[in-house]
């Protein structure tokens, strides 16, 4: 496994991150953790460590807190684990009904950031997070208020570094303007079927760009500022690596076939090819793996040994976008 020191930090992290959204029963509505959830979490953590992955991604909303809770139980049964791993979580999304009568919303208020983080620490059975991300931008945010919350959490030793998720360049720049320390990460959806980050580079000056607004400068700004880029849904939820293609578009079907062909040529799993497409980008993108299965995690880990040629990278890109380069 490749490891790196995250810019602006003393954290030594694996290139791949284990995402924990699927732990604790996932998005289903089970309200209690079962022994099977603990077994699944234990096996996933063990498989990650065996593959050299030491970086784990959470959010307070995953499985309504149960993903962190089950992870915290594993930390409690093996306290030495905490020193071996880098723990990241997120706050800022609030469900409808929390408290009763409220709508779903984003909340970057001082109170929510501080209180939600303290609840994360209790669930994870840890004294501190290595990185806290703001999950989805809140149009009602006040830079001063976020800065105050971060300062409090840092001063109390509860969070070491801060970052964001799903933020465009303007929002990152706005927030950074209030913070004494650099943001260390931005976590964004990036994969072969959600490739706005690459489209934004090639589609400039085109009559009909193939990407949604907002991607301009995100990658370049992050690279210049040392904001690490993390890719969520890096496998496009498995559609190109063995998932069900019955409802897939012709471009998706062709891309899945190409992934299969390249996996054969490189003698690796299909997951490895899909992830290698992200890893080949010079921004140093860190895929956040979403699998809750140890065998699939091992298949994903093969990706760090693959370096796609420029031609293979463009073949994948062109096939997935369903259109040749401008």
Ligand X SMILES: NC(=O)c1ccc[n+]([C@@H]2O[C@H](COP(=O)([O-])OP(=O)(O)OC[C@H]3O[C@@H](n4cnc5c(N)ncnc54)[C@H](OP(=O)(O)O)[C@@H]3O)[C@@H](O)[C@H]2O)c1
Binding status of residue 21 toward ligand X by CB under 6 A: yes
Two tokens, residue 283: 């921004």
**Subset of residues 173 to 212 that bind ligand X, contact rule: CB under 6 A:** 187
Q: Is 221 a catalytic residue?
A: no
Which residue number is nearest to ligand X in terms of Cβ? Answer: 290
Binding piece for ligand X, criterion CB under 6 A, among 78-86, 117-125, 246-254, 286-294: 286-294
Question: Does 20 help bind ligand X (rule: CB under 6 A)?
Answer: yes
Burial (CB < 10 A; 0-12, 13-18, 19+), residue 164, is buried
In sequence order, which residues have a C-beta less than 8 Å from that of residue 21 and are 6 or more positions away? Answer: 59, 62, 63, 67, 290
Q: b/e per residue, 169-186, with b = 16+ CB within 10 A? A: bebbeebbeeeeeebbbb
Exactly one of 63, 131, 236, 301 binds ligand X (CB under 6 A); that residue is 236
Please identify, among the stretches 30-38, 68-76, 153-161, 234-242, the one whose residues bind ligand X according to the rule CB under 6 A: 234-242
SS3 at position 104: coil
Task: Tell which one of 242, 260, 284, 298 touches ligand X (CB under 6 A).
Answer: 242
Element (H, E) at 148: helix 143-155
Cβ at position 191, least distance to ligand X in Å: 6
- Examine residue 39 and tell whether it contacts ligand X (CB under 6 A): no
CB 237 within 8 A of CB 174: no
Instruction: Please report, as residue ranges, which positions from 131 to 150 form the binding site for ligand X (by CB under 6 A).
Output: 135
Q: Residue 238's closest CA among 213, 275, 205? A: 275
Nearer to ligand X among residue 209 and residue 242 (C-beta): 242
The packing angle between helices 310-321 and 250-266, to 10°, is: 160
Query: Which of 237, 249, 307, 322 touches ligand X (CB under 6 A)?
Result: 237
How many residues at the interface with ligand X, by CB under 6 A? Answer: 26
Please answer whether residues 184 and 150 qualify as being in contact, where contact means their C-beta atoms are separated by less than 8 angstroms: no
Closest to 256 (Cα-Cα) out of 233, 275, 238: 238
Q: Which of 9, 228, 241, 286 binds ligand X (CB under 6 A)?
A: 241
Q: Is 72 in the site for ligand X (CB under 6 A)?
A: no
Q: From the list 24, 72, 92, 290, which residue makes contact with ligand X (rule: CB under 6 A)?
A: 290
With respect to ligand X, which residue has the nearer C-beta, 121 or 300? 300
CB of 149 to ligand X, least distance (A): 19
Q: Pick the binder of ligand X from 172, 289, 301, 316 (CB under 6 A).
A: 289
Kindly report the length of the chain. 326
> Are the C-beta atoms of 14 and 56 separated by less than 8 Å?
no
Does position 272 bind ligand X by CB under 6 A? no
Q: Report how far residue 180's alpha carbon sits from residue 232's, in angstroms, rounded to the nearest whole number.
A: 27
Q: Is 92 a binder of ligand X (CB under 6 A)?
A: no
Q: Which residues are catalytic?
A: 62
* Residues forming the site for ligand X (CB under 6 A): 19-22, 57, 135, 165-166, 187, 232-238, 241-243, 288-293, 296
């Amino acid at each position: 496994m490749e490891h790196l020191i995250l810019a602006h930090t003393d954290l030594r992290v694996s290139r791949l991150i284990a995402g924990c959204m699927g732990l604790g029963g996932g998005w289903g509505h089970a309200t209690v953790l079962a022994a099977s959830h603990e077994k699944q979490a234990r096996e996933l953590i063990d498989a990650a460590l065996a593959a050299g992955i030491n970086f784990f991604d959470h959010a307070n909303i995953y499985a309504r807190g149960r993903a962190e809770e089950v992870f915290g139980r594993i930390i409690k049964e093996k306290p030495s684990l905490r020193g071996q791993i880098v723990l990241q979580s997120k706050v800022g999304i609030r469900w409808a009904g929390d408290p009763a009568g409220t709508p779903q919303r984003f909340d970057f208020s001082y109170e929510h950031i501080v209180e939600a983080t303290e609840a994360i620490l209790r669930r994870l059975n840890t004294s501190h997070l290595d990185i806290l991300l703001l999950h989805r931008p809140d149009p009602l945010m006040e830079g001063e208020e976020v800065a105050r919350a971060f300062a409090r959490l840092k001063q109390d030793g509860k969070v070491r570094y801060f970052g964001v998720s799903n933020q465009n360049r303007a929002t990152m720049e706005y927030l950074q303007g209030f913070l004494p320390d650099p943001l260390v990460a931005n976590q964004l959806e990036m994969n072969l079927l959600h490739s706005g980050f690459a489209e934004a580079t090639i589609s400039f000056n085109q009559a009909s760009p193939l990407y949604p607004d907002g991607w301009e400068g995100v990658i370049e700004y992050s690279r210049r500022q040392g904001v690490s880029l993390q890719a969520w849904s890096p496998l496009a939820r498995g559609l190109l690596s063995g998932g069900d293609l019955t409802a897939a578009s012709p471009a998706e079907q062709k891309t899945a076939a190409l992934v299969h062909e390249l996996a054969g040529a490189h003698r690796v799993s299909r997951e490895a090819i899909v992830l290698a497409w992200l890893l080949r980008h010079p921004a140093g993108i860190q895929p956040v793996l979403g699998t809750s299965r140890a065998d699939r995690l091992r298949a994903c880990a093969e990706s760090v040994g693959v370096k796609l040629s420029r031609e293979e990278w463009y073949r994948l890109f062109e096939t997935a976008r369903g259109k040749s380069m401008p």
